[in-house]
Structure 1
Amino acid sequence: MKPNIILRKNSKTVNTTIQLTGSKSECNRALVIEALSQGRVKVTNVSDAADAVLLAGILRSELSEAGVQNSEARTQNSESESGPLTTDNRQLTTVNIGPAGTAMRFLTAYYAISGEEVILTGSERMKQRPIGILVDALRTLGANIDYVEQDGYPPLHIKGGFEQKTDLISIQGNISSQYITALLLIAARLPQGLRLQIEGELTSRPYVEMTLSMLQQAGIQHQWEDNVISIASQEFAETSIWVEPDWSAASYWYAIAALSDEAELFLPGLTSYSLQGDSVIGEIMANFGITSQFKDGGVYLKKEPKPIVRKIFDMIQCPDLAQTVVVVCAALGHEATFTGLETLKIKETDRIAALQNELGKMGVKLIEKGQVYKLDCSEKFIPQKMTIKTYEDHRMAMAFAPLALIIPELEVEEAAVVDKSYPAFWTDLEKAGFEVLDV
């Protein structure tokens, strides 16, 4: 991990063009589709986010025996973090995805039907993130999966020998959408197809719609009637999927614009008809005086004076934007209320606790009452220097970085954590006039 960095911004004016990397959410789905199609689908504009690079290395190695031997992520058990992993005195191939939560969910489903026998593992934090709901669903379908250490959590021993037992799976709608997406991605490769019955309210619906839209680009048709999504067994089409730039990454530039006195930014490649649910950041940030104008093949952001009146933000469809919006509200002293944050506690870190800890350093409280969270800015102050702990969470680093516009010296711990989704973030801040200094 790189050393800590210091951020400074002498001027509160931002005027620049930022070329964002491909969407991690789109890219991860596209890479799984590419692998399941056995190369009939090609992916372009692959994200340079660490998670996407890792997943590309694993999945594209599946299309080439030589690539399998050279993949850094696929290691023999002797190199595993968990020590030797063996079954009946056999050494098994280990796939270590580190802290990449999306890769863990998607690869669990991928390997369940691949016929391969692997150990799928990750970082120590990954071993604390639940996966039992997805494993139970795959076992119901016919997958042969065991837990290596703790029931309900990685590492997983995926044994191959998939024989489909049913085409109907019921799954709660208020769980991580990545479980649902993992099942939908493999549906067309199942001999009987899949009928996925969603029970209760579907959270993060845009992510499920993104998955289905990308499958449709690859020739996979579906039906969605009431609470049942049906995908028949069918072949992928020969096509190419272009990955749009990342709206989640764009959210940090909206935050920078919101905390600036003057801001004019151009983000090429972003469209008003994006598949990404996080494109709603434009609508959210309009409440803070940021206009979004789509022209010249991208979006122009501009800061305009506007009183903030919106008091309630429901983040249930875009939980990855929560930290960004909470920090902006805190910085502006806007005592907003937030709902839809249920999944934040099982992300890269417990993001609720992390927000509470770090906002407390400037006197702001994030008060939890059931499933409602309220900002209390009554004791807010602006310190001359503040150090942000990132908790091995890329979004903590990037959501708090815009505070350098109001805090004279902002130190960010473990700066390289941004590599997970936006490796060029600190370089891009320098383009925008921020000082980025190693400690």
Structure 2
Amino acid sequence: MKHNIILTKKSKSVIGTVHLTGSKSECNRALIIEALSGGKVKVENISDAADTVTLLQVLSHKSKVESQEKNDSGLETQDLRLVNIGPAGTAMRFLTAYFTLQDEEVILTGSARMKQRPIGILVDALRELGAGIDYVENEGFPPIKLKGSLVQLSNKVSIKGNVSSQYITALLLIAARLPFGLELHIEGELTSRPYVEMTLTMLQSAGIQHSWTGNVISIPNQDFAETSLHVEPDWSAASYWYAIAALADDAELFLPGLTPYSLQGDSVITEIMANFGITSQFKDGGVYLTKEVKPLARKIFDLKSCPDLAQTIIVVCAALGHEASFTGLETLKIKETDRIKALQNELAKIGVKLIEKGQVYKLDCSKKQIPERIFVDTYEDHRMAMAFAPLALLIHEVEIEDADVVEKSYPAFWKDLEKVGIAPPNPPR
């Protein structure tokens, strides 16, 4: 049953230490690598994000197996293994590729929203390689039936670079296990390049070599090395603390475990938030955030390489009345929800418009208002909940719908907010 949470903050100062969970992006890649390595690779500092927990259960064969004529989702499984990953988008993409190499036949499905998120580009690429994949309901969308035991027909495949980097990562993760390896041609401009670079760096740490020339990434058939992959704390989670610091009158926050040499593209939040007067000082095994008031000089933010930061940055700009422009938001409409529409709906509650003009989005803050109270719909999207929560520093009461949605990537978010004084007005005793 869904429940809401009401946030309030008596003081406009934020001081404290916050221990972040492991990176969901890194951990999900590492778990697939571990599974494909046959036990040679071990993963350390596993994230407690719900998406990662789901993926780990599937890879450990602890997911639900249905054998009756029809299961809870209404799918006819006929004694096949049914893997229901719920709303876990990364797991859907990575497992689609992973199961093509397994010696079993499965049906891979998810939540109602997951069945609306396209997967055809990845399925087409895997079919070119020789995978047996059928759509169970609607062409181009989950659920899908994977026959496994891929017999490779080709080692060359092309895929669009501007739709989702997760499609590319899914293919790269299985490349070394393909008998003839993989030559992946990326068509057009590559969106979210840091996520592809993260994948390749983690594979290299596990002994898998690659070459990347122009728009072609090549990975030959090869064995994994015996090693451990240590998962860093989550920079995406850190971004919400940068937002909190930006909206506070003054801030002194310490986030242990984060380094300036991260694999995660979202570590660029340090540079972006410097525009809002947030200084990042790396020492004592983490990063210290401090706040100084300064005028915003940068008016255009290109978020092509870090789309998961978009909601956070846009909400901060809107709350501060900065009429910034944003590019690189093409993938936001096929995320957990249509994030553009969701932002437009919720920002309207403080009188701010997010106007779409082709590939550019601009904030109109001319009618911005700070109400006493606001109700934020989350659209089953964890990032909507966490991006709008910092508004509690400006608005007396912020009610967030479906608070449990944050379990997808940052289960301890609400408890961590309480540690710095952002909490329900009358917490239960």
- TM-score, with length taken from structure 1: 0.96
Determine which of 71, 76, 87 is the counterpart of 1:85.
76
Cα 1:121–1:310 shift into 2, 3 Å:
same
Distance 1:78 1:51 in 2: 28
What letter corresponds to residue 7 of structure 1 in structure 2?
A: L
Q: Please name the residue that 1:284 is paired with.
A: 272
What letter corresponds to residue 203 of structure 2 in structure 1?
A: L
Q: Please name the residue that 2:320 is paired with.
A: 332
Q: Once structures 1 and 2 are overlaid, which stretch shifts more, 46-55 or 1-10?
A: 1-10
Q: Please name the residue that 1:355 is paired with.
A: 343
Query: Does residue 12 of structure 2 align to residue 21 of structure 1?
Result: no
Does the 8 Å CA contact 2:66/2:80 hold for their aligned counterparts?
Answer: no
What letter corresponds to residue 318 of structure 2 in structure 1?
A: A
Distance 1:4 1:75 in 2: 33
Q: Secondary structure at 2:275's aligned position in 1?
A: helix
Does the 8 Å CA contact 1:197/1:227 hold for their aligned counterparts?
Answer: yes
Distance 1:199 1:13 in 2: 48
Distance 1:84 1:184 in 2: 30
1:85 Cα deviation after fit:
1.4
What letter corresponds to residue 37 of structure 2 in structure 1?
A: S
Distance 1:435 1:202 in 2: 40
Summarize deviations over 1:334-387 as a string: whole Å, max 9, x none.
000000000000000000000000000010000001111000000000010000
Distance 2:162 2:390 in 1: 31
- TM-score, with length taken from structure 2: 0.98
Q: Secondary structure at 1:48's aligned position in 2?
A: coil
Alignment of 1:192-207 (within 5 A): 192-207=180-195
Determine which of 143, 159, 174 is the counterpart of 1:171.
159
What letter corresponds to residue 32 of structure 1 in structure 2?
A: I
Q: Please name the residue that 1:47 is paired with.
A: 47
Q: Please name the residue that 2:282 is paired with.
A: 294
1:80 Cα deviation after fit:
3.6
Q: Secondary structure at 2:297's aligned position in 1?
A: coil
1:73 Cα deviation after fit:
4.4
Does the 8 Å CA contact 1:23/1:245 hold for their aligned counterparts?
Answer: yes
Distance 1:295 1:79 in 2: 56
Q: Please name the residue that 1:342 is paired with.
A: 330
Cα 1:85–1:225 shift into 2, 3 Å:
same
Summarize deviations over 1:23-50 as a string: whole Å, max 9, x none.
0000000000000001110001000000
Question: Unaligned 5+ residue runs, structure 1?
Answer: 62-67
Distance 2:164 2:68 in 1: 29
Distance 1:120 1:107 in 2: 8
Alignment of 1:18-417 (within 5 A): 18-59=18-59, 61=60, 68=61, 71-76=62-67, 80-86=71-77, 90-417=78-405
What letter corresponds to residue 396 of structure 1 in structure 2?
A: M
1:3 Cα deviation after fit:
1.3
What letter corresponds to residue 235 of structure 1 in structure 2?
A: D
Distance 2:228 2:164 in 1: 28
Summarize deviations over 1:389-420 as a string: whole Å, max 9, x none.
00000000000000000000100000000000
Distance 1:78 1:334 in 2: 57
Summarize deviations over 1:202-253 as a string: whole Å, max 9, x none.
1100000000000001000000111110000000000000000000000000
1:284 Cα deviation after fit:
0.2
Does the 8 Å CA contact 1:77/1:84 hold for their aligned counterparts?
Answer: no
Does the 8 Å CA contact 1:266/1:298 hold for their aligned counterparts?
Answer: yes
Does the 8 Å CA contact 1:58/1:74 hold for their aligned counterparts?
Answer: no
Distance 2:170 2:79 in 1: 27
Percentage identity across paired residues of the two chains? 74
1:75 Cα deviation after fit:
4.4
Q: Secondary structure at 2:221's aligned position in 1?
A: coil
Distance 1:81 1:355 in 2: 33
Cα 1:215–1:77 shift into 2, 3 Å:
farther
Cα 1:76–1:14 shift into 2, 3 Å:
farther
Distance 2:152 2:411 in 1: 40
Summarize deviations over 1:8-34 as a string: whole Å, max 9, x none.
001000010000000000000000000
What letter corresponds to residue 14 of structure 1 in structure 2?
A: V
Q: Please name the residue that 1:65 is paired with.
A: none
Distance 1:407 1:200 in 2: 43
Q: Secondary structure at 1:202's aligned position in 2?
A: coil
Q: Secondary structure at 2:166's aligned position in 1?
A: helix
Summarize deviations over 1:99-142 as a string: whole Å, max 9, x none.
00000000000001112100000000000000000000000000
Summarize deviations over 1:44-97 as a string: whole Å, max 9, x none.
1000000001101111x2xxxxxx3xx1445446674432414xxx32110000
Cα 1:241–1:279 shift into 2, 3 Å:
same
Does the 8 Å CA contact 2:63/2:83 hold for their aligned counterparts?
Answer: no
Q: Please name the residue that 2:6 is paired with.
A: 6
Cα 1:332–1:201 shift into 2, 3 Å:
same
**Count of paired positions:** 427
Cα 1:200–1:409 shift into 2, 3 Å:
same
Does the 8 Å CA contact 1:75/1:96 hold for their aligned counterparts?
Answer: no
Q: Secondary structure at 2:424's aligned position in 1?
A: strand
Does the 8 Å CA contact 2:16/2:253 hold for their aligned counterparts?
Answer: yes
Question: Unaligned 5+ residue runs, structure 2?
Answer: none
Does the 8 Å CA contact 1:80/1:96 hold for their aligned counterparts?
Answer: no
1:435 Cα deviation after fit:
1.7
What letter corresponds to residue 17 of structure 1 in structure 2?
A: T
Does the 8 Å CA contact 2:70/2:76 hold for their aligned counterparts?
Answer: no
